[in-house]
Amino acid sequence: TDTDFPVLLTGESGTGKELVAQILHYNGPRREQVFVSENCAAIPEPLLENELFGHVRGAFTGADKEKMGLFRQADKGTLFLDEVGELSLDCQSKLLRVLQDGKIRPVGGQDAIQVNVRIITATNRDLMEMVKAGMFREDLYYRLHVVKVELPPLRERREDIPTLLEHFVQEHAGKSDALSFTVEAMRPLMAHTWPGNVRELQNVVKRLVAMGVKEVQVNDLSMEI
Protein backbone atom coordinates (compact mmCIF):
# COMPACT_ATOMS: atom_id res chain seq x y z
CA THR A 1 0.00 0.00 0.00
CA ASP A 2 2.98 2.34 0.48
CA THR A 3 3.03 3.56 -3.13
CA ASP A 4 1.65 6.41 -5.21
CA PHE A 5 0.52 4.27 -8.14
CA PRO A 6 -2.99 4.72 -9.58
CA VAL A 7 -5.32 1.94 -8.46
CA LEU A 8 -8.43 0.67 -10.25
CA LEU A 9 -10.99 -1.02 -7.98
CA THR A 10 -13.52 -3.28 -9.67
CA GLY A 11 -16.44 -5.36 -8.47
CA GLU A 12 -20.19 -5.37 -8.03
CA SER A 13 -21.97 -2.30 -6.71
CA GLY A 14 -21.79 -2.05 -2.94
CA THR A 15 -18.69 -4.22 -2.43
CA GLY A 16 -16.92 -1.53 -0.42
CA LYS A 17 -14.73 0.09 -3.06
CA GLU A 18 -14.67 3.48 -1.32
CA LEU A 19 -13.77 1.80 1.97
CA VAL A 20 -10.82 0.10 0.24
CA ALA A 21 -9.81 3.41 -1.35
CA GLN A 22 -9.72 4.98 2.11
CA ILE A 23 -7.61 2.09 3.41
CA LEU A 24 -5.15 2.55 0.54
CA HIS A 25 -4.93 6.29 1.22
CA TYR A 26 -4.56 6.13 5.00
CA ASN A 27 -1.93 3.39 4.76
CA GLY A 28 -0.01 5.08 1.95
CA PRO A 29 2.60 7.84 1.71
CA ARG A 30 -0.12 10.55 1.54
CA ARG A 31 -1.85 9.46 4.74
CA GLU A 32 -1.34 12.87 6.34
CA GLN A 33 -2.97 14.63 3.37
CA VAL A 34 -6.59 15.01 2.29
CA PHE A 35 -8.76 12.22 0.85
CA VAL A 36 -11.38 13.53 -1.59
CA SER A 37 -14.16 11.33 -2.99
CA GLU A 38 -16.68 11.81 -5.79
CA ASN A 39 -19.20 9.60 -7.58
CA CYS A 40 -18.95 10.42 -11.29
CA ALA A 41 -22.41 8.98 -11.95
CA ALA A 42 -24.01 11.37 -9.45
CA ILE A 43 -23.03 14.56 -11.29
CA PRO A 44 -24.77 15.61 -14.54
CA GLU A 45 -22.35 15.58 -17.48
CA PRO A 46 -22.47 19.37 -18.12
CA LEU A 47 -21.40 20.01 -14.50
CA LEU A 48 -18.73 17.33 -14.17
CA GLU A 49 -15.84 19.26 -15.74
CA ASN A 50 -16.59 22.19 -13.43
CA GLU A 51 -16.73 19.86 -10.42
CA LEU A 52 -13.40 18.21 -11.27
CA PHE A 53 -11.38 21.18 -12.47
CA GLY A 54 -13.19 24.19 -11.02
CA HIS A 55 -13.71 27.53 -12.75
CA VAL A 56 -12.37 31.06 -12.71
CA ARG A 57 -14.47 34.02 -11.69
CA GLY A 58 -16.67 35.17 -14.57
CA ALA A 59 -16.28 31.90 -16.49
CA PHE A 60 -20.06 31.81 -17.02
CA THR A 61 -23.21 33.52 -15.81
CA GLY A 62 -23.41 33.20 -12.05
CA ALA A 63 -19.70 32.44 -11.58
CA ASP A 64 -19.16 35.37 -9.23
CA LYS A 65 -16.24 33.73 -7.47
CA GLU A 66 -13.53 31.17 -8.20
CA LYS A 67 -14.21 27.48 -7.60
CA MET A 68 -11.23 25.23 -6.83
CA GLY A 69 -12.54 21.90 -8.12
CA LEU A 70 -11.80 18.44 -6.75
CA PHE A 71 -8.30 18.13 -8.21
CA ARG A 72 -7.11 21.27 -6.45
CA GLN A 73 -8.90 20.26 -3.25
CA ALA A 74 -7.04 16.94 -3.38
CA ASP A 75 -3.63 18.48 -4.13
CA LYS A 76 -0.86 16.47 -2.41
CA GLY A 77 -3.52 13.94 -1.36
CA THR A 78 -5.75 11.35 -3.01
CA LEU A 79 -8.75 11.77 -5.31
CA PHE A 80 -11.13 8.81 -5.44
CA LEU A 81 -13.38 8.76 -8.50
CA ASP A 82 -16.16 6.19 -8.17
CA GLU A 83 -18.08 4.93 -11.23
CA VAL A 84 -15.35 6.16 -13.57
CA GLY A 85 -16.94 4.08 -16.34
CA GLU A 86 -19.77 6.63 -16.49
CA LEU A 87 -17.48 9.42 -17.74
CA SER A 88 -18.17 10.71 -21.25
CA LEU A 89 -15.40 10.41 -23.85
CA ASP A 90 -14.87 14.16 -23.62
CA CYS A 91 -14.38 14.01 -19.84
CA GLN A 92 -12.15 10.97 -20.28
CA SER A 93 -9.88 13.01 -22.57
CA LYS A 94 -9.61 15.79 -20.00
CA LEU A 95 -8.87 13.31 -17.21
CA LEU A 96 -6.18 11.67 -19.35
CA ARG A 97 -4.54 15.04 -19.94
CA VAL A 98 -4.31 15.63 -16.18
CA LEU A 99 -2.77 12.21 -15.62
CA GLN A 100 -0.23 12.82 -18.39
CA ASP A 101 0.75 16.40 -17.54
CA GLY A 102 -0.11 16.77 -13.87
CA LYS A 103 -1.90 20.02 -14.74
CA ILE A 104 -5.52 21.14 -14.79
CA ARG A 105 -7.17 24.04 -16.58
CA PRO A 106 -10.20 25.49 -14.78
CA VAL A 107 -13.28 26.24 -16.85
CA GLY A 108 -12.82 29.69 -18.38
CA GLY A 109 -9.17 29.84 -17.34
CA GLN A 110 -6.16 30.52 -19.58
CA ASP A 111 -3.38 29.18 -17.37
CA ALA A 112 -2.75 25.55 -16.43
CA ILE A 113 -2.35 24.82 -12.72
CA GLN A 114 0.06 22.15 -11.47
CA VAL A 115 -1.49 19.55 -9.16
CA ASN A 116 0.01 16.58 -7.33
CA VAL A 117 -2.77 14.07 -6.84
CA ARG A 118 -2.89 10.32 -6.45
CA ILE A 119 -5.79 8.85 -8.39
CA ILE A 120 -7.85 5.88 -7.23
CA THR A 121 -10.80 4.93 -9.44
CA ALA A 122 -13.59 2.39 -9.17
CA THR A 123 -16.21 0.86 -11.43
CA ASN A 124 -18.73 -1.97 -11.49
CA ARG A 125 -18.48 -2.09 -15.30
CA ASP A 126 -16.08 -4.08 -17.49
CA LEU A 127 -13.83 -1.28 -18.77
CA MET A 128 -11.99 -3.51 -21.24
CA GLU A 129 -15.28 -4.44 -22.88
CA MET A 130 -16.09 -0.72 -23.00
CA VAL A 131 -12.71 -0.10 -24.65
CA LYS A 132 -13.51 -2.70 -27.31
CA ALA A 133 -16.90 -1.07 -27.86
CA GLY A 134 -15.32 2.38 -28.24
CA MET A 135 -16.97 3.67 -25.07
CA PHE A 136 -13.81 4.07 -22.99
CA ARG A 137 -10.41 5.36 -24.04
CA GLU A 138 -7.79 2.61 -24.15
CA ASP A 139 -4.96 5.00 -23.22
CA LEU A 140 -6.91 6.19 -20.17
CA TYR A 141 -7.71 2.60 -19.19
CA TYR A 142 -4.02 1.73 -18.99
CA ARG A 143 -3.25 4.93 -17.10
CA LEU A 144 -5.80 3.99 -14.45
CA HIS A 145 -5.01 0.27 -14.51
CA VAL A 146 -1.47 0.38 -13.05
CA VAL A 147 -2.72 -1.67 -10.10
CA LYS A 148 -6.07 -3.45 -10.30
CA VAL A 149 -7.91 -4.76 -7.24
CA GLU A 150 -11.04 -6.81 -7.83
CA LEU A 151 -13.37 -6.91 -4.85
CA PRO A 152 -15.42 -10.10 -4.62
CA PRO A 153 -19.06 -9.82 -3.55
CA LEU A 154 -19.76 -10.23 0.16
CA ARG A 155 -21.42 -13.61 -0.41
CA GLU A 156 -18.00 -14.92 -1.51
CA ARG A 157 -16.16 -13.55 1.55
CA ARG A 158 -18.55 -14.14 4.42
CA GLU A 159 -15.58 -14.51 6.79
CA ASP A 160 -15.24 -10.71 6.56
CA ILE A 161 -18.71 -10.10 8.01
CA PRO A 162 -17.75 -10.01 11.74
CA THR A 163 -14.90 -7.57 11.07
CA LEU A 164 -17.10 -5.37 8.89
CA LEU A 165 -19.84 -5.39 11.52
CA GLU A 166 -17.37 -4.21 14.15
CA HIS A 167 -16.11 -1.47 11.82
CA PHE A 168 -19.60 -0.19 11.01
CA VAL A 169 -20.72 -0.31 14.65
CA GLN A 170 -17.73 1.84 15.59
CA GLU A 171 -18.41 4.20 12.66
CA HIS A 172 -22.10 4.69 13.38
CA ALA A 173 -22.33 4.17 17.15
CA GLY A 174 -19.03 5.69 18.23
CA LYS A 175 -17.39 2.58 19.68
CA SER A 176 -17.05 -1.01 18.53
CA ASP A 177 -18.75 -2.54 21.60
CA ALA A 178 -21.83 -0.28 21.46
CA LEU A 179 -23.74 -3.04 19.65
CA SER A 180 -23.27 -6.77 20.12
CA PHE A 181 -24.68 -9.72 18.19
CA THR A 182 -25.90 -12.94 19.77
CA VAL A 183 -24.78 -16.25 18.28
CA GLU A 184 -28.35 -16.82 17.07
CA ALA A 185 -28.38 -13.45 15.28
CA MET A 186 -25.01 -14.08 13.63
CA ARG A 187 -26.22 -17.27 11.95
CA PRO A 188 -28.63 -15.60 9.48
CA LEU A 189 -26.14 -12.76 8.96
CA MET A 190 -23.48 -15.27 7.92
CA ALA A 191 -25.94 -17.23 5.74
CA HIS A 192 -27.55 -14.26 3.93
CA THR A 193 -26.61 -13.85 0.24
CA TRP A 194 -26.14 -10.05 0.58
CA PRO A 195 -27.33 -8.89 -2.86
CA GLY A 196 -26.51 -5.32 -1.78
CA ASN A 197 -23.03 -6.41 -0.63
CA VAL A 198 -21.14 -4.37 1.99
CA ARG A 199 -23.50 -1.40 1.58
CA GLU A 200 -26.44 -3.62 2.60
CA LEU A 201 -24.52 -4.81 5.67
CA GLN A 202 -23.74 -1.21 6.61
CA ASN A 203 -27.43 -0.33 6.34
CA VAL A 204 -28.28 -3.19 8.73
CA VAL A 205 -25.98 -1.64 11.34
CA LYS A 206 -27.37 1.87 10.73
CA ARG A 207 -30.91 0.58 11.28
CA LEU A 208 -30.01 -1.26 14.50
CA VAL A 209 -28.19 1.77 15.89
CA ALA A 210 -31.17 4.00 15.02
CA MET A 211 -33.47 1.55 16.81
CA GLY A 212 -31.34 1.78 19.95
CA VAL A 213 -30.65 -1.96 20.04
CA LYS A 214 -27.76 -2.96 22.32
CA GLU A 215 -27.71 -6.76 21.96
CA VAL A 216 -29.01 -7.94 18.62
CA GLN A 217 -31.44 -10.87 18.64
CA VAL A 218 -32.79 -12.70 15.61
CA ASN A 219 -36.07 -10.79 15.87
CA ASP A 220 -34.20 -7.51 15.52
CA LEU A 221 -33.13 -8.42 11.98
CA SER A 222 -35.22 -7.69 8.89
CA MET A 223 -37.37 -10.38 7.31
CA GLU A 224 -35.09 -10.44 4.26
CA ILE A 225 -32.18 -11.53 6.43
54: left (phi over 0), alpha (psi -120 to 50) or beta: left
Radius of gyration of the chain (CA): 20
CA distances from 197 to 16, 20, 117, 151 (A): 8, 14, 29, 11
Predicted structure pTM score: 0.85
* CA angle centred on 59, ends 56 and 60, rounded to 5°: 145
Which pLDDT does position 84 carry in this prediction?
Answer: 96
Please provide the DSSP assignment of the chain as one string. --S---EEEE-STTS-HHHHHHHHHHTSTTTTS-EEEEEGGGS-HHHHHHHHH-B-TTSSTT--S-B--HHHHTTTSEEEEESGGG--HHHHHHHHHHHHHSEE--BT-SS-EE---EEEEEESS-HHHHHHTTSS-HHHHHHH-SEEEEPPPGGG-GGGHHHHHHHHHHHHHSSTTSSEE-HHHHHHHHH---TTHHHHHHHHHHHHHHHT-SEE-GGGS-S--
Which pLDDT does position 96 carry in this prediction?
Answer: 95
Contact 36, 79 (CB under 8 A): yes
Summarised one tens digit per residue, pLDDT across range 194-220 is: 999 999 999 999 999 999 999 999 999
Intervals of the chain under pLDDT 50: none
Q: How far is Cα 143 from Cα 146, in angstroms, rounded to an integer?
A: 6
